[in-house]
Amino acid sequence: MHLITSFFDLGLFWNFFYVYEKVMQIWNYHEISSSNELFKKIDLSLEFHSILSIARIQIPTIFNCMIGYHEFRRNVEILKNLQKKLISILSCQEMLIPLERENLFNYFNEISLSKNFPLYEGFIRIFVHLSIYFNIKEHEKNEEILKTILTELISKHSLKESFHPTTLFFLFKENVHLIYFLFKEAIFDFSLIETEVKCAIRQDFFLFFIPEIKKMNPELYLLKMKEFRLKEKDINDFYFKSLEKSEELTSELQKFDFRKNMHSQEEIAKIIRSDDIDSFIEYVSNHDNYDLNSKVMASFLENNSDINNKVNSHDGLSLFEYSMGYGSVNIFRYLWEKKVEYTDQSLKYCVIGGNSDILRILEEESKYKFNEECYYTSIQYYHPKITEHFQNLLKIPPLTIPSIFSTVHRTTNLEFFWDWLILNENSNEENLQQSQIFNFLTKSASEPIDAYKLLVSEDSNNFFLAFYFFYLFILQQSNIDINSFGKICFLINCF
């Protein structure tokens, strides 16, 4: 049935039985072992040969048991296109934004986004990831663009109706500013925010939604204030410690408009992000014995966990790391010349910022070397030139199936995965049945594959779940063990 569907998708259903019979005759008679050899043996009309050429990628599917690959591959390609179109909007000149945005909206219609849950879920995953990790220096500008796209999804592509509220909240919750926007648009109600606050171990989510919690559930407000050992003065400090003394805030609404900011509002942090070297030197001069190794502390306004860097009690980033993370090359050079302290872990912030001058200086002068983790960071932050550079510099070996799947779960970078998929197919043109993905997923049933290892990626602080369309594909395969090690219970609890 899958074969018929695949050929039907190509407009070739009328030729399927003839193709299948002819190919099987040649395959069996000549004892052929590769699809390339098969083509050499086929002596057919030009019309039929052109049909086979179009369907070439489908030929191995006739002979193997890898179920659903055609649909999986198509989903990857469409999501890759969506990712590229979204990045085009976020990175183009302001005058071109309306045109690029219209291209994306037309593509939504072309692929019938609201009628295809795997694609819709995949796009939301990419959308949220880009809102946090792409071009972090332009987050506040990009946020307005993203809200315009969300409005389009709400009004014309049934965002609210296409997802269960808890699923939608789960997909967006890494970006509290988008959660806040969707809450104001009545896409989900206060109960989901309330539940998240009740379960929260860290205080950031609570701090962001204090106005709503204090008004709508005073008991929860008092409970969490006690749990986090906070006082009203602490709340005022969190919200207003960086505001100019001359600013007068006369209403609750004005006070909490402060939440439109997306990064730390410490004065030194704002100076570094703008790469204003004169203001930086003036700030240091105006503070006696200012420690250049001091930190920008974590902020509840910051969605990016790398920037907040909450590891045990060592929250925040050094000024040096912060300058690298935002590509502030002038302040970086100043701190570099002052020989500030840094570690091997600091180098990843150069990758996050993506500034080529900073990268060159560290490669030539740093006592530490870039490592494989920096390579994966470049994928996560969508720096393809840096990714290619590290691939050559570090001689990154070919990725295995588990490692490429894990990389996609962590980075949501479907363009990277698509390039790997195409390269894997092309490199095995002599015999597509020898491709990594085929060999891995069609092992003997006596070698069951642990589904958890393919669908969940873990590091020391987080776990990352696969796209929904990965589940659809992987769990169809006959030798996937979905109950291995009892991890299926853990997966269920995540939703």
Question: Which residue did the predictor score with more confidence, 29 or 83?
Answer: 83
- At residue 69 the predicted structure's pLDDT band, cuts being 50, 70 and 90, is confident
pLDDT at 41 exceeding the cut of 60: no
The Cα 328–Cα 354 span in angstroms is 10
- At residue 312 the predicted structure's pLDDT band, cuts being 50, 70 and 90, is low
Residue 260's pLDDT is: 87
Tell me the one-letter amino acid at 429.
E
Question: pTM (2 decimals)?
Answer: 0.80
Cross-strand bridge partners of residue 480: 449
Range of weakest confidence among 31-35, 381-385, 455-459 = 31-35
User: 190-199 and 176-184 helices cross at what angle (nearest 10)?
Assistant: 150
Contact between residue 411 and residue 379 where contact means Cβ atoms under 8 Å apart: yes
pLDDT at 40 exceeding the cut of 60: no
Q: What percent of the chain has pLDDT over 90?
A: 58
pLDDT at 430 exceeding the cut of 50: no
Q: List the one residue out of 34, 6, 32 whose CA is nearest residue 435.
A: 34
Q: Please report the sign of the dihedral spanned by the C-alpha atoms of residue 296, residue 300, residue 306, residue 311.
A: positive
| 347 to 122, 192, 301, 320: CA distances (angstroms) | 31, 38, 24, 10
Q: What percent of the chain has pLDDT over 70?
A: 72
Three-class SS state of 286: coil
Residue 485's pLDDT is: 52
Residue 142's pLDDT is: 92
- At residue 21 the predicted structure's pLDDT band, cuts being 50, 70 and 90, is very low
Which residue is listed with tokens 């990857």?
76
The residues, ordered by sequence, that sit 6+ positions from 395 with a Cβ below 8 Å of its Cβ are none
Q: List the one residue out of 37, 71, 40, 38 whose CA is nearest residue 471.
A: 71
Question: Which residue did the predictor score with more confidence, 180 or 313?
Answer: 180
pLDDT in tens, 201-239: 789 999 999 999 999 999 999 999 999 999 888 787 766
Q: How many CB atoms lie under 10 A from the CB of residue 165?
A: 14
Which residue is listed with tokens 């291995």?
484
The Cα 9–Cα 69 span in angstroms is 13
Q: How many CB atoms lie under 10 A from the CB of residue 46?
A: 7
- At residue 198 the predicted structure's pLDDT band, cuts being 50, 70 and 90, is very high
Token pair of 488, please? 């299926």
Q: List the one residue out of 264, 399, 277 whose CA is nearest residue 330.
A: 277
Token pair of 160, please? 């609210």
**327-361 residues labelled b (16+ CB within 10 A) or e (exposed):** bbbebbebbbeeebebeeebbbbbbbbbbeebbeb
Q: Set out the domains of the chain in order of their start, with CATH numbers.
A: 1-63 (no CATH), 267-393 (1.25.40.20)
Burial class from Cβ neighbours inside 10 Å (0-12, 13-18, 19+) for residue 214 reads middle
pLDDT at 406 exceeding the cut of 70: yes
DSSP label at residue 202: S
Mean per-residue pLDDT, 273-291: 95
Residue 465's pLDDT is: 75
Contact between residue 301 and residue 286 where contact means Cβ atoms under 8 Å apart: no
DSSP label at residue 445: T
Strands 449-450 and 480-481: parallel
pLDDT in tens, 354-367: 999 999 999 999 99
pLDDT in tens, 156-168: 999 999 999 999 9
Tell me the one-letter amino acid at 62.
I
**φ, ψ dihedrals at 475, nearest 5°:** -75, -5
Supply angle C-alpha 335, 341, 342, rounded to 5: 100
- At residue 240 the predicted structure's pLDDT band, cuts being 50, 70 and 90, is low
Residue 56's pLDDT is: 38
The Cα 256–Cα 249 span in angstroms is 10
Mean per-residue pLDDT, 395-416: 90
Average pLDDT of the chain, as a whole number: 81
Cross-strand bridge partners of residue 481: 450
Mean per-residue pLDDT, 127-140: 93
